[in-house]
Amino acid sequence: MSQQPQDDAAIQPEDGTAKTTEPELHRVAVRRAPKWSVFLVIGLLVGLIATIAVTTAFPADPNVGMGMTVFIVGIFVVPLGVALGALAALIADRASFRRVREVTVERGEVHVVPEPARAPEPAPTATESAPGPERAHGDAAPADSRPD
């Protein structure tokens, strides 16, 4: 809910410039929270690396093949890496509450008087937009106009 001023002249000065109202001061808590997406992507990459490391450490089943073995192990290990990344993000998020700072902020409103609308500029005519003598693109210039 914003409060509307009683008099429009109070927010629109006669010279047409913007006018600010009296700012409000508030105390707010500021903390640096971690980006969860970064932790999840790093967890995914750790899961992929762990999957490749585990599957290449042991011989592959000749009936299944190395690709399918990596896929099957990855189905279980990659979500585990993402879960570990989420756990790390949660721990970092909880730790960020210890470094909370209180700051004073100022909030004010700016009322801008809109500019009057301008008339659209006319489109260029065919003679204004033509680039030189009228000839098809790629045609050779007359012999007398070529440089020596």
pLDDT band at 134 (very low <50, low <70, confident <90, very high): low
Q: Is the confidence at residue 2, as pLDDT, over 50?
A: no
Write down the pTM of the prediction.
Answer: 0.52
State the pLDDT at residue 1.
Answer: 42
State the pLDDT at residue 45.
Answer: 96
Please name every residue paired with 27 in a beta bridge, in sequence order, or none if there are none.
Answer: 104
DSSP 65-121: -HHHHHHHHHHHHHHHHHHHHHHHHHHHHHHHGGG-EEEEEEE--EE-PPPPPPPPP
State the pLDDT at residue 132.
Answer: 56
For 12-64, the pLDDT digits (tens) are 555 555 555 667 788 888 888 889 999 999 999 999 999 999 999 988 888 88
Kindly compute the dihedral angle of the four CA atoms of residues 133, 135, 140, 143, in this order, to the nearest 10 degrees: -50
For 71-82, the pLDDT digits (tens) are 999 999 999 999
State the pLDDT at residue 145.
Answer: 54
pLDDT band at 142 (very low <50, low <70, confident <90, very high): low
Please name every residue paired with 105 in a beta bridge, in sequence order, or none if there are none.
Answer: 26
CA-to-CA distance for 82 and 112, rounded, in angstroms? 48
Token pair listed for 141: 């210039």
| Strand 24-30 versus strand 101-107 pairing type | antiparallel
